[in-house]
Amino acid sequence: MEHFVKVAEGVSLWVESRGPEEAPAVLLIMGSTASGLFWPDELVALLARSYRVIRYDHRDTGASTWDFDRNPYPATRMAEDALAILDALGIARAHVVGLSLGGLLAQWLLVTHPARLLSATVIGAPALEGAPARGDLPSRAPIDPGLLEFWSHMFDPRDLDAQVEWRVENWRRLNGGVIPFDADAFRALERRVIAHAGRHDTSTAHARADPSGMARGAELTHVTVPTLVIAAPEDPTHPVSHARFLAETLPRATWVSIEGMGHALPRAVVPPLAAALLRHFDEAASARNAATKPGAPLALPEV
């Protein structure tokens, strides 16, 4: 089911919901400038067998409202949009899964609105700024300099075909060098996303949104929501050292490394990713049920 949710005056977000409406909800939060359609259909279908799965377009992406110049907003507003979607759908609590920027937004929700989360999953994202230093862990690796140089041309004007090819090359770089890159599959996906949005340019809104309110990392050590951290060994943006740091910082974190995974979601990573998510959702539910039994100790997952 596709529809639009009004999250502010003059701002509506494209939202898609699949799976049984009475089932626990899974909210998928995509990364910067990326449409919700980048969550693979195959992944959504696997999760929707047991859960109500929701994906959506952020402001200034996809089919949602593009209006940053007239109505600028801070990065935290995008996290609040996620809650507004849950409110509009009548969902009190959800399993929240965030990729890249979505992983940062998920962390912000962990420290500001934990009661709204059944669990959280962070993929391809660093810890929020301000997280306490850990001298017992290796230094967190920086983003690949070559990728940063490539991204410096992200907002250059291009015609439709050139834009598609630039985005395909971006996915090739994000995919990493282990899982074979299917350029045709990503090319078809980009053309689908462009048709969905009705435009082929990339908004600069998320790059200009004030990030200062996201600096809540010092509070991560107090999070009690079960959180899964996905480590992607081939991620050129935030390698495994970031996942390990976050997993060691969050008191109720588990982590799973998906072999060959980078910062993209090719078909090959869908089965292991779906399996990790479903296991995490089940474990979070089991811990929650155990905690509600009179006299039963809380079962905490191992870090």
Please tell me which residue in 100, 200, 238, 242 is annotated as part of the active site.
100
Instruction: Say whether 100 is catalytic.
Output: yes
**CA Rg, the chain, in Å?**
18
Q: Identity (one letter) of the amino acid at 106?
A: A
- Determine the Cα–Cα distance for residues 109 and 13; give it in Å rounded to an integer: 19
178 with 232: CB under 8 angstroms? no
- Determine the Cα–Cα distance for residues 22 and 14; give it in Å rounded to an integer: 21
Instruction: Say whether 35 is catalytic.
Output: no
37 with 193: CB under 8 angstroms? yes
Cβ-Cβ contacts under 8 Å for 216 (sequence gap 6 or more) = 107, 108, 111, 112, 128, 130
Please tell me which residue in 57, 60, 81, 235 is annotated as part of the active site.
235
How many helices (DSSP H) and strands (DSSP E) are in the chain? Answer: 9, 8
- Determine the Cα–Cα distance for residues 51 and 22; give it in Å rounded to an integer: 8
Take residue 159 and report the two structure tokens written for it: 């015609």
Distance (Å) of CA 71 to CA 30, 35, 64, 77, 162? 21, 20, 14, 12, 30
The DSSP secondary structure of 9-30, one letter per residue, reads TTEEEEEEEES-TTSPEEEEE-
Instruction: Say whether 242 is catalytic.
Output: no
Catalytic residue list: 100, 235, 263
